[in-house]
A and B are shown apart, each in its own frame.
Chain A
Amino acid sequence: MGAKAKIMERTGKSFYERLYLIEIFKGMAVTLGHFMTNFLDNSKLYVRHYPEVQPEIPARWRGRHRLTKHEDGTMKCVACFMCQTNCPAKCIMIEAGERIDGRSEKMPVRFTIDLLECIYCGYCVEACPMDAIRMDTGIFAVTGADRQSFVMGLTALLATPGAYTEEEYKKGGV
Chain B
Amino acid sequence: MAEKVQLFVNGQEVEVEAGKNLIDAFGAIGVKIPHLCYHPALGADGNCRMCLVGIEDGRPPIVPACKTKVAAGMKVQLDTEKIKKIQRDIMEFELINHPIDCPVCDQAGECKLQDYYMKYDGQPSRMTVKQVLKSKQMDFGCGVVHDQERCVLCARCVRFTRLITKTGELGIVNRTDAARVTIFPGRPLHNRYALNVVDLCPVGAMTSRDFRFKQRAWFLTRSASICQGCSKGCNIFIDHNREKYKDDIIYRYRPRRNQLVNGYFMCDAGRMTYKGENDDRLLTPQVDGRAASLDEAIETVRRAISEAKKIAMLVSPNASLEQMYAIQRFAAAIDAALSGYSDGCVMAGDGDGWLIQDDKSANRASFALLNIDASKAGFAAAVSGADLVLNFLNDLDRSLGEDDLTQLPATAHLVSLASSLTACVARSAVALPVASYSEDAGSLVNCDGRLQRYEAAVLKNQPLKSLIEVTRLLGGSVRNIQEARAGLQTAVAVLNDVDLERIPADGIALTASEVAHVAA
Interfacial chain B residues near A96, Cβ < 8 Å: 213-214
**30 A-B contact pairs sorted by A residue (CB < 8 Å):** A78-B103, A78-B104, A79-B104, A79-B213, A80-B102, A80-B103, A80-B104, A80-B216, A81-B216, A81-B219, A82-B103, A85-B216, A85-B218, A90-B244, A93-B243, A93-B244, A93-B245, A96-B213, A96-B214, A97-B213, A98-B212, A104-B101, A104-B104, A105-B104, A105-B136, A105-B137, A106-B103, A129-B102, A129-B103, A130-B103
A101 to B471, CA, bound (A): 54
Q: How far is the CA of A79 from the CA of B244 in the complex (A)?
A: 17
B219: chain A residues within 8 A (beta carbon): 81, 85
Give A93's nearest chain B residue, CB to CB.
B244
Interface size on B, residues (CB 8 A): 16
Instruction: Mark contacts of A59-100 with chain B using CB atoms, 8 A cut-off: 1 yes-contact digit, 0 otherwise.
Output: 000000000000000000011111001000010010011100
- Taking CB atoms and an 8 Å cut-off, the chain B residues in 209-225 that contact chain A are 212-214, 216, 218-219
Mask of B219-238 contacts with A, CB within 8 angstroms, 1/0: 10000000000000000000
User: Please, which residues of chain B bring their CB within 8 A of the CB of A130?
Assistant: 103
Quote the shortest CB–CB distance from A105 to chain B (angstroms): 6
Residues on B facing A (Cβ under 8 Å): 101-104, 108, 136-137, 212-214, 216, 218-219, 243-245
A96 to B215, CA, bound (A): 8
Question: Which residues in A have their C-beta under 8 angstroms from that of B243?
Answer: 93
On whether the beta carbons of A98 and B104 are closer than 8 Å, the reply is: no
Chain A residues near B102: list those with CB within 8 A.
80, 129
Q: How many residues of A contact B (CB 8 A)?
A: 16
Kindly name the residue among B104, B108, B219, B245 whose own CB sees the greatest number of chain A CB atoms within 10 A.
Answer: B104
Nearest-neighbour CB distance to chain B for A75, whole angstroms, equals 13
* Interface positions of A from 125 to 140, Cβ below 8 Å from B: 129-130
A106-B213 in contact (CB<8A) = yes
Complex Cα gap A93–B244 (Å) = 8
Which chain A positions have C-beta within 8 A of B213? 79, 96-98, 106
How close is B239's CB to chain A, nearest CB, in angstroms?
16
Most buried by B among A105, A129, A130: A105
Q: Tell me how far the C-beta of B178 lies from the nearest C-beta in chain A, rounded to whole angstroms.
A: 23
Closest Cβ neighbor of B103 among chain A residues: A80
Determine the residue in chain B with the shortest Cβ distance to A92.
Answer: B244
Q: How far is the CB of A20 from chain B (nearest CB, A)?
A: 55
Q: Min CB distance, A157 to chain B, in Å?
A: 18
Which residues on B sit within 8 Å (CB–CB) of A90? 244
Q: Measured between alpha carbons, how far is A106 from B244 in the docked complex, in Å?
A: 21
Q: Note all chain B residues with C-beta closer than 8 A to A98.
A: 212-213
Q: Could you say which residues of chain A place their CB within 8 Å of the CB of B244?
A: 90, 93
Q: Give the CA-CA distance A90 to B242 in the complex, in Å.
A: 13
Q: In the complex the two chains form, what is the Cα distance from A80 to B136 in whole Å?
A: 18
Given A79-B104, A106-B103: 10 more A-B contacts, CB < 8 Å:
A80-B216, A85-B216, A85-B218, A85-B219, A93-B243, A93-B244, A97-B213, A104-B104, A105-B104, A106-B213
